[in-house]
Amino acid sequence: MMADATFYFPDDFKWGAATAAHQVEGNNTNNQWWAWEQAPGHIRNGDKSGDACGWWLDAEADFDRMVDLGLNAHRLSIEWSRIEPREGQFDTAAIDRYRAMLLGLRRRGIEPMVTLHHFTNPQWLEERGGWEHAHVVVPLFVRYAARVVKSMGDLCDLWCTINEPNVYATLGYLVDGRMPPGMTNRLDKAMAVMCNMLLGHAAAYQVLHEHQALARVGFAHHMRLFQPLNPASMLDRTAARLLDGAFNRDSLTALLKGRWSLAMLRGRPPSPRPLRGTLDWIGVNYYGRQGVAFDSASPGTLWGRQVTIPGAEMSDFDTGDVYPEGITPLLKYLVLSRLPVYITENGLPDADDHLRPGFILRELRALWSAVQFQLIQGYYHWTLTDNFEWADGWRLKFGLYQFDPLTGERTPRRSAMLYRDIIRKNAINGDIVREYAPDVVEKLFP
């Protein structure tokens, strides 16, 4: 055993956390998620985002907590419906508030990464079909992106255009309707929406660079490791490969090579040529592994039924397979892009914090080799404090800080102290592992 080995990270490595506007700001009353929350049955336990974590009034208190942990980076999103509450009408007070947030981060030595779209649409856009029609949404998104970069470009040059187009399309139009507009089995619409979001990304990429010469622009791509339930089954292997292609690879192929997949063509999208070469970096949101079994009754999900791998360690999420090492084969694919990679989200729901310390250590150990080859530029843990987790409401606890939505009280979890100590040493060593997660010593130092 090599329990005294030390895994050092580069001096300029970005240690961060990630948040999304609707989940932390509170009272985003002009977007489609607020409207979705008001209808019974959409959110677990009837929860609502409400005041959320109170960031609109006092994000700076959590910025101070970031300083306490030693973070030098933070990924946050801008709420489109605050910037443009009515079509064509921009709110200068909202722009000023976001400028104050970005300035607050900068003054604390924390570099902001700004996401322009994180699942929420202005309600006026939703009423026009959201992302279903490229000729409608793409020009509107470009106008919004231009207003943001012109208003805030002096405080940020690291931009994430869109968060998880594959998740937005899949959960809103294809599988279980957990996200608005709540459709299921509409493969044609799901593919059209995903293609349109990529077109929106490419158009925003161009306008960001037009207004800011040194802009660094990417998107946050959710990737999962799809594993056949029975590795000896050709059908299970094929279903897993098809899901890997559609969920993990097709978006990247479009943006890197300017080519739609056969599945995407179901959405009858415009030419993909404008997409090629519109990434300065790639963001990876990784949460775990998904078992796949062939199911002849599920053509809409490419004949793959999602299952749990027997014996898998599970988080508080219903299908939360805890498998930090699964990111390694995904990164091997990304090496081919020759682009910098940020881990823009990574975490797990774990209310009593018994899994999170080991998860963080195992994940960072899995990333360490890629970091040494200068592939990974930074790590943004999801998330700083417990927050409103979309259709799961307040049930799932992803935070380094425990958060009480009734009182607003924050309490640091043990995993927050672990993250702080890793950042202070800019390394993982045997002492840290033995103190916070002795049960993973043999996994990290075989």
Give residue 318's pLDDT: 75
Beta-strand pair 111-117/158-163: parallel
Domain ranges of the chain: 6-444
Pairing state between β 158-163 and 216-228: parallel
DSSP label at residue 287 = E
Residue type, 196: N
Burial 151-174 (b: 16+ CB within 10 A, else e): bbbebbbbbbbbbbbbbbbbbbbb
Full DSSP string of 107-120: HTT-EEEEEEESS-
Q: So what's the pLDDT on residue 116?
A: 99
3-state secondary structure 56-104: HHHCHHHHHHHHHHCCCEEEEECCHHHHCCECCECCHHHHHHHHHHHHH
The b-or-e profile of 237-248 (16+ CB within 10 A means b, else e) is bbbbebbbbbbb
Number of neighbours of residue 373 by Cβ within 10 angstroms: 9
Burial class of 301 by CB neighbour count within 10 A (0 to 12, 13 to 18, 19+): buried
For the chain, which residues score pLDDT lower than 50?
A: none
CA–CA gap between residue 117 and residue 134 (Å, rounded): 16
Is the CB of residue 79 less than 8 Å from the CB of residue 122? no
Report pTM. Answer: 0.97
Q: Say what the pLDDT of residue 301 is.
A: 79
pLDDT at 35: 98
Assign 218 to helix, strand or coil: strand
Q: Which two tokens stand for residue 265?
A: 């063509």
Q: Could you check whether the bond before residue 383 is cis, i.e. omega within 30 degrees of 0?
A: yes
Topology of the domain covering 6-444: TIM Barrel (3.20.20)
Q: How many Å apart are CA 189 and CA 171, to the nearest integer? A: 12
Report pLDDT for 339: 97
Query: What distance in Å separates the CA atoms of residue 325 and residue 323, rounded to the nearest whole number?
Result: 6
List Cα–Cα distances, 86 to 35, 83, 90, 126, in angstroms.
Answer: 15, 9, 8, 12
What is the Rg, in whole angstroms, of the alpha carbon atoms belonging to the chain? 21
Q: Which two tokens stand for residue 185?
A: 């089995």
Could you tell me which residues come within 8 angstroms of residue 293 by beta carbon, excluding any fewer than 6 positions away? 228, 229, 230, 236, 239, 304, 305, 307
Span between the terminal Cα atoms of the chain, in Å:
5
SS3 of residue 208 by DSSP: helix
Tokens of 37: 């929350």
Question: What pLDDT does 2 receive?
Answer: 54
